[in-house]
């Protein structure tokens, strides 16, 4: 099979993996020799027609797999065309694309062939060859396999900027139903090993600047949303636990995409993409705004609302806590005001040390005034009722697609 054909098959097979962001690694460049660089802002990305962010060279080593996960297009029982790269072919492709300025990094995953250790050896060999033989200093993200030997995980962390292990489904019951060969405890055990090694490497680096790094951009994972009826509350519970217990850098949420020849246990249509968006918003609130899962969802309403964002929904359910005087409220209270982000809250705290904030100050800070005004008090503003502003702030439950056919309406001529 020609390289072009392999690339077509294996790049397409990799598009279902959403965890391709690359921020957070060490700054590195080729001024001291070698090839490639990373920057504080991460590598270049492209966007698929449904709006997902993907790196430009995002491929699988192979789409053959001994596992039969029902949600996966590469499962062993799937009737898709198979292909397989050798490590040398992946190295050559990465260097060729980099030299043509097409990419600035590599995202490499793989189906499992022969055994977990054999597959992991192939993946590690690509990263090691790039780093050692070609002095490649660009970004490398490797997918790791929970069952692989610890020494292979250790070596992967030595050459990669980020490691990731996909949880895939949010609960053990979901895995038993759709991917019985995978085990959540085993996955989380591997995450624990990686997390401890990352922490140890950071300590060693502080004591000795020449100490070897281990996955400096941390570890991440991905969960598929909508393949089972599991509610957002369980998904966010799992994500919150992963952040707390394994110090994950990111949890990515990927809306389930229907696949050819799918099992009857899978839904026929994908969930609305806006659900994925709401989960990312809730994830942000958990990590940076001090919210808890139990505040964003309840046992009676276990799913996030689709028409308004989770922070606004919380505010509307706690109207007795508003309006908030932005000239007096503490930081944790300001962070709960809809429309106020972390950056603007910190700016408010700085400015009010020198003078009392008025509406003109907020407008200069380019705040979303329609969203903020019903919930705040300033020196020259006191809101009346929150209810009448709710309709303005609600949005359609359907997320628009960038490349939807009806977006590009031909212009009339003449």
Please state, in angstroms and rounded to a whole number, the distance separating the CA atoms of residues 290 and 369.
23
Structure tokens at 239: 């994500």
Burial class of residue 31 in the structure, from the number of CB atoms within 10 Å of its CB (0-12 exposed, 13-18 middle, 19+ buried)? exposed
Which range (22-26, 40-44, 286-290, 353-357) has the least confidence? Answer: 40-44
Strands (E), 82-181: 105-109, 139-143, 162-164
Q: Is residue 238 part of a domain?
A: yes
Residue 407 pLDDT: 47
Q: Which of 25-39, 68-82, 165-179 has the lowest mean pLDDT?
A: 25-39
Does 77 share its domain with 199? Answer: yes
Give the chain's domain count.
Answer: 2
Same domain, 354 and 279: no
Cis peptide before 323 (omega within 30 of 0): yes
Q: What is the pLDDT of residue 18?
A: 65
Contact 383, 323 (CB under 8 A): yes
Percent of the chain with pLDDT over 90: 43
Q: Of 268, 296, 324, which residue is a domain's last?
A: 296
| pLDDT tens digit sequence for 109-164 | 888 888 889 999 999 999 999 999 999 988 888 999 888 898 999 999 999 988 99
Give a yes or no: residue 381 inside a domain: yes
Q: Give backbone dihedrals phi and psi of 198, rounded to 5 degrees, phi first.
A: -65, -45
- Return the pLDDT at 408: 47
- 47 and 171 housed in the same domain: yes
Average pLDDT over residues 230-258: 90
User: In terms of domains, do 246 and 355 share one?
Assistant: no
| Element (DSSP H or E) covering residue 255 | strand 250-255
Residues 358 and 220 in one domain: no
316 and 275 in one domain? no
With a cut of 80, say whether residue 16 has pLDDT above it.
Answer: no
Could you tell me if 120 and 85 lie in one domain? yes
For the stretch 365-409, pLDDT in tens is 999 998 999 999 999 888 876 555 555 555 555 665 655 555 444
pLDDT at 41: 45
CATH number for the domain harbouring residue 114: 3.20.20.70
Domain assignment present for 406: no
274 and 181 in a common domain: yes
Residues 53 and 133 in one domain: yes
Q: Residue 377 forms beta bridges with which residues?
A: 325
Residue 60 is part of which domain span?
3-18+41-296
pLDDT at 398: 61
CA dihedral 114, 118, 119, 122 (to 10 degrees): -140
Whether the pLDDT of residue 298 is over 80: the answer is yes
pLDDT at 413 over 50: no
């Amino acid at each position: 099979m020609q390289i072009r054909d392999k690339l077509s098959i294996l790049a397409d097979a990799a598009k279902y993996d959403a965890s391709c962001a690359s921020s957070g690694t060490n700054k590195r460049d080729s001024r001291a020799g070698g090839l490639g660089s990373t920057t504080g802002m991460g590598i270049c990305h492209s966007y698929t027609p449904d709006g997902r962010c993907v790196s430009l060279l995002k491929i699988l080593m192979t789409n053959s797999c001994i596992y039969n996960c029902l949600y996966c297009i590469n499962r062993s029982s799937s009737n898709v065309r198979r292909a397989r790269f050798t490590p040398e072919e992946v190295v050559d492709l990465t260097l060729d694309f980099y030299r043509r300025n097409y990419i600035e990094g590599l995202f490499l995953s793989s189906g499992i062939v022969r055994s977990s250790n054999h597959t992991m050896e192939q993946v590690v060999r690509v990263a090691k060859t790039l780093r050692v033989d070609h002095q490649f200093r660009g970004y490398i993200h490797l997918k790791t396999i929970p069952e692989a030997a610890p020494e292979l995980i250790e070596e992967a962390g030595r050459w990669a900027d980020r490691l990731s292990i996909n949880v895939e489904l949010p609960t053990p019951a979901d895995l038993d139903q759709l991917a019985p060969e995978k085990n959540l405890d085993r996955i989380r055990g591997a995450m624990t090993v990686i997390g401890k090694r990352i922490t140890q490497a950071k300590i060693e680096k502080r004591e000795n600047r020449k100490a070897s790094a281990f996955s400096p951009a941390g570890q991440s994972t991905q969960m598929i949303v909508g393949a089972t009826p599991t509610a957002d509350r369980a998904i966010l519970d799992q994500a919150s636990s992963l952040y707390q217990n394994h110090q994950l850098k990111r949890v990515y949420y990927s809306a389930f995409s229907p696949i050819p020849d799918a099992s009857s246990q899978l839904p026929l249509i994908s969930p609305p993409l806006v659900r994925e968006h709401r989960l990312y918003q809730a994830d942000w609130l958990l990590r940076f705004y001090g919210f808890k899962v139990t505040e964003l969802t309840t046992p009676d309403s276990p799913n996030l609302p689709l028409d308004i964002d989770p922070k606004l929904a919380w505010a509307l359910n706690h109207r007795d806590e508003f309006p908030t005087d932005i000239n007096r409220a503490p930081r944790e209270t300001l962070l709960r005001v809809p429309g106020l982000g972390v950056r603007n809250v910190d700016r408010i705290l700085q400015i009010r040390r020198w003078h009392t904030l008025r509406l003109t100050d907020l407008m200069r800070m380019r705040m979303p005034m329609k969203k903020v005004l019903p919930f705040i008090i300033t020196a020259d503003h006191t809101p009346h009722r929150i209810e009448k502003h709710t309709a303005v702030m609600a949005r359609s439950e359907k997320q628009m697609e960038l490349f939807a056919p009806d977006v590009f309406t031909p212009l009339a001529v003449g």
